[in-house]
A and B are shown apart, each in its own frame.
Chain A
Amino acid sequence: MVTKQGGGVSAQTLDKSQLLRMYEQMKTIREFEERAGKEFASGKVPGFVHLYAGEEAVAVGVCSHLTDDDYITSHHRGHGHCIAKGVSLREMVAELLGREAGACRGKGGSMHIADVNKGMLGANGIVGGGFPLAAGAGLTAKFNDRGQVAVCFFGDGAGNQGTFHEGLNLAGIWKLPVIFVAENNGYAESTPVSYHMSCRDIADRAAGYNMPGVTVDGLDVFAVYEAAGEAIARSRRGEGPSLIECKTYRYYGHFEGDAILYRTKEEEESYRARDPIKAMRRVLVDRGIVHDAELEAIDKKVQDSIDLAWQFAEAAPYPAPEDALTDVYVKYP
């Protein structure tokens, strides 16, 4: 149940169960992506996959403040957002494999997983496709007037699309409850930010749209949690949109099959040394909030749930070929 009133939620209010839930979600995303990458390499998954591994702190830090009544738009690297927003793991795997039990009945695949009932308005194959959609969800939220928000996840590449300008401008002039979350992982496909962006930081653009912009360490789930909490609380109070730029890193290529020669091994290792999940784990154990054994138990639970999801999906039947013809319209003629 969202509420319009109230301040932000700072990290100090996180109790043990919330902390463990965040850890579990990040771990689920990581293990899901690692497994998807393996299965893709073995030829089981048709089409393309774009893995989110490394960026977990952003999806979890943001979505921890959201309910099923809030909206998110995502992009081609969307598995992490799906999981953080509560999309069923078995439906996700079944969708990757094109089975009828998939989240989109096999019609969409990895780049188009959605669950509109949970406010997950879809991964998207068009870079920049989400900005106007998120503004529209924000319009609905404003119309409903019960404190809902819309979060638009986008990458550094998308920040250069014309729709960035249009979506933020609309949110700015109509004071829409939209939080634009930039996942700046330093590269748009194989092209680095130093080449493709005319400003150094995406947050610098926010002022042009009459909204606050902040930059946070996207590898620190608490930093993301705090910034997102404040931004979301602002929007719930009716104070309008904001932009949060999370500096993060993707461990794998733009898509699986990318040899990633445009990045050095040293760079990748320096980011892996700051792994967001390991960092959270260290903090929780060092501060005496949890014991290692409790986290091991969560790790096992995550592993089991992913194994079960794959077992389910691999056994699930394909749709009948004629199902290609259904669900184009609600009614036709």
Chain B
Amino acid sequence: MAVAIRQMTYAQAINDAIRMEMRRDPRVILMGEDVAGGATIAHLQDDEAWGGVLGVTKGLVQEFGRNRVLDTPITEAGFIGAAVGAASTGLRPIAELMFVDFFGVCWDQIFDQGAKLRYMFGGKASCPLVIRTMIGAGMGAAGQHSGCHYSVFTHMPGIKTVVPSTPADAKGLLEGAIRDDDLVVVFENKMLYNVSGDVPEGEYVIPPGKADIKREGIDITIVAISRMVHQALEAADTLQAQGISAEIVDPRSLSPLDEDTILDSVAKTHRLIVVDEDNPRCSVATDIAALVADKAFSELDAPIKLVTAPHTPVPFSPPLEQFYIPSPERIVATVQELTG
């Protein structure tokens, strides 16, 4: 049966995913700072409420009401922890941690409580919680509003992590996360909110654990994460003109990681670079490099190269911020190193 396809932005796709799941399951609730906006303000018209700081959750409170779309005070430890508690007692909350950089405020509730309770309670409890959070530099939001840090979450046993790069993936991975019975963190890149793409209508579910080949090629595998998929696609066009065919693998899910897709790709191309906007030490990039060095060493014709941000916080000034973010030019140069 053909599924209808619609043009949507990444932000609209996220909104759609939440709407689909909240219609389907009455236990799904949404909570976070100003996710509806303007709580108790009598004069505020429906379409005037914020719907999230960048408007991603606009309109949901009108359909589902304030018992299921909850504005919280600015108390991350409090409401993320409350989301863990609600999830482990029968609700299926979607909690918004506005910027991933704020995770320090609520980290205990995520990693020591939510991530570990199933294990510590002998498998007799679970935490089907989704945390949505914004990542990414490029908006001039500076050091405390621009990081990625999915590596820290991916490192923790008990947490699943997904990183959509397109509107369709955003919808599918979010619906997949909501239906998943474990604690899943969905990292939404703020620079992608206005990117448009084809998105299936109705319910669309991509469970965590499945990568996607965003571009097929034979000369080199580029594993790219989140917005870096787009940087890599741009680099691939340049490389194509130079006669180099790059295959771009979008893991989509960092934990669990679709190892087979990556390994199969390396078996085909024999070269690998990983493009990751996160900081380089103990990152997902190093994790994937170690995986391939371990399991596909004999397939490699060249060393694995990583194209990442530097080991610094995100700087504010535009030229510094552009230096920080891996660019298509750096990707091209790195590929040329390996194929030259």
Binding site for B on A (CB under 8 A): 46-48, 95, 98-100, 102, 104, 106-112, 124-128, 157-158, 160-163, 188-192, 194-197, 259, 261-262, 264, 318-325, 328
- Asked if B311 and A328 make an inter-chain contact with CB atoms under 8 angstroms apart, the answer reads yes
- Asked if A324 and B324 make an inter-chain contact with CB atoms under 8 angstroms apart, the answer reads yes
**B312, closest chain A residue (CB):** A328
- Asked if B105 and A126 make an inter-chain contact with CB atoms under 8 angstroms apart, the answer reads yes
Q: List the B side residues contacting A110 at CB < 8 Å.
A: 142
Q: Does B111 contact A (CB under 8 A)?
A: no
Query: Which of A48, A106, A126, A190 interacts with B317 by CB under 8 Å?
Result: A106
- Asked if B142 and A125 make an inter-chain contact with CB atoms under 8 angstroms apart, the answer reads yes
- Distance A322 CA – B312 CA, assembled complex (angstroms): 11
Query: Which of B43, B49, B53, B312 interacts with A324 by CB under 8 Å?
Result: B312
Given A125-B143, A160-B74, A195-B40 contact (CB < 8 Å)? yes
- Asked if B318 and A318 make an inter-chain contact with CB atoms under 8 angstroms apart, the answer reads yes
Q: List the B side residues contacting A102 at CB < 8 Å.
A: 317
- Asked if A194 and B40 make an inter-chain contact with CB atoms under 8 angstroms apart, the answer reads yes
- Asked if B320 and A262 make an inter-chain contact with CB atoms under 8 angstroms apart, the answer reads no
Q: Does B145 contact A (CB under 8 A)?
A: yes
- Distance A14 CA – B194 CA, assembled complex (angstroms): 54
- Asked if B142 and A160 make an inter-chain contact with CB atoms under 8 angstroms apart, the answer reads no
- Asked if A112 and B142 make an inter-chain contact with CB atoms under 8 angstroms apart, the answer reads yes
Q: List the B side residues contacting A161 at CB < 8 Å.
A: 74-77, 105
Q: List the B side residues contacting A319 at CB < 8 Å.
A: 317, 319-320
- Asked if B39 and A192 make an inter-chain contact with CB atoms under 8 angstroms apart, the answer reads yes
Instruction: State the Cβ distance, B339 to closest chain A Cβ, in Å.
Output: 26
- Distance A319 CA – B74 CA, assembled complex (angstroms): 35
- Distance A192 CA – B40 CA, assembled complex (angstroms): 8
**B322, closest chain A residue (CB):** A321
Instruction: State the Cβ distance, B75 to closest chain A Cβ, in Å.
Output: 5
Instruction: State the Cβ distance, A258 to closest chain B Cβ, in Å.
Output: 8
Q: List the A side residues contacting B316 at CB < 8 Å.
A: 46-47, 95, 98, 104, 106-109, 112
Q: List the A side residues contacting B7 at CB < 8 Å.
A: none
Q: List the A side residues contacting B45 at CB < 8 Å.
A: 261
- Asked if A325 and B312 make an inter-chain contact with CB atoms under 8 angstroms apart, the answer reads yes
Query: Which of B43, B312, B323 interacts with A321 by CB under 8 Å?
Result: B323
- Asked if A321 and B320 make an inter-chain contact with CB atoms under 8 angstroms apart, the answer reads yes
> What string of 1s and 0s marks CB contacts (under 8 Å) between B38-53 and chain A?
1111011100111001
- Distance A164 CA – B313 CA, assembled complex (angstroms): 26
Q: List the B side residues contacting A127 at CB < 8 Å.
A: 74
Number of A-B residue pairs with CB-CB distance less than 8 Å in the complex they form: 152
What 20 additional pairs, Cβ within 8 angstroms, besides A46-B318, A95-B316? A46-B316, A48-B145, A106-B316, A106-B320, A107-B320, A125-B145, A157-B73, A161-B76, A161-B77, A189-B37, A190-B50, A191-B33, A191-B37, A195-B39, A262-B37, A262-B44, A318-B317, A319-B317, A324-B321, A324-B324
- Distance A58 CA – B311 CA, assembled complex (angstroms): 39
- Asked if A107 and B317 make an inter-chain contact with CB atoms under 8 angstroms apart, the answer reads yes
Chain B residues touching A, majority SS: loop
Given A128-B105, A192-B39, A262-B49, A324-B315 contact (CB < 8 Å)? yes
- Asked if B49 and A190 make an inter-chain contact with CB atoms under 8 angstroms apart, the answer reads yes
Q: List the A side residues contacting B323 at CB < 8 Å.
A: 321-322, 324
Q: Which of B25-77 contact A (CB under 8 A)?
A: 33-34, 37-41, 43-45, 48-50, 53, 71, 73-77
Which of A99, A191, A192, A323 is the most central at the interface, judged by chain B CB atoms within 10 Å of its CB? A191
> What string of 1s and 0s marks CB contacts (under 8 Å) between B58-99 and chain A?
000000000000010111111000000000000000000000
- Distance A128 CA – B144 CA, assembled complex (angstroms): 13
**B310, closest chain A residue (CB):** A325
**B139, closest chain A residue (CB):** A47
- Distance A333 CA – B279 CA, assembled complex (angstroms): 17
Q: List the A side residues contacting B50 at CB < 8 Å.
A: 189-190, 262
- Asked if A323 and B74 make an inter-chain contact with CB atoms under 8 angstroms apart, the answer reads no
Rank and list the top 6 A-B pairs by shortest CB-CB distance, nearest first.
Answer: A98-B317, A47-B140, A46-B140, A109-B316, A106-B317, A125-B144
Given A106-B315, A107-B315, A111-B142, A162-B44 contact (CB < 8 Å)? no
Q: List the B side residues contacting A124 at CB < 8 Å.
A: 144
Q: List the A side residues contacting B297 at CB < 8 Å.
A: none
Instruction: State the Cβ distance, B180 to closest chain A Cβ, in Å.
Output: 29
- Asked if B311 and A188 make an inter-chain contact with CB atoms under 8 angstroms apart, the answer reads no
Q: List the A side residues contacting B101 at CB < 8 Å.
A: 125-126
- Asked if B73 and A197 make an inter-chain contact with CB atoms under 8 angstroms apart, the answer reads yes
Query: Which of A46, A125, A197, A262 interacts with B38 by CB under 8 Å?
Result: A262
Q: Does B20 contact A (CB under 8 A)?
A: no
A-B residue pairs in contact (CB < 8 Å), sample of 12: A106-B316, A109-B140, A111-B144, A157-B73, A161-B76, A189-B34, A192-B38, A194-B40, A195-B39, A320-B319, A325-B310, A328-B312
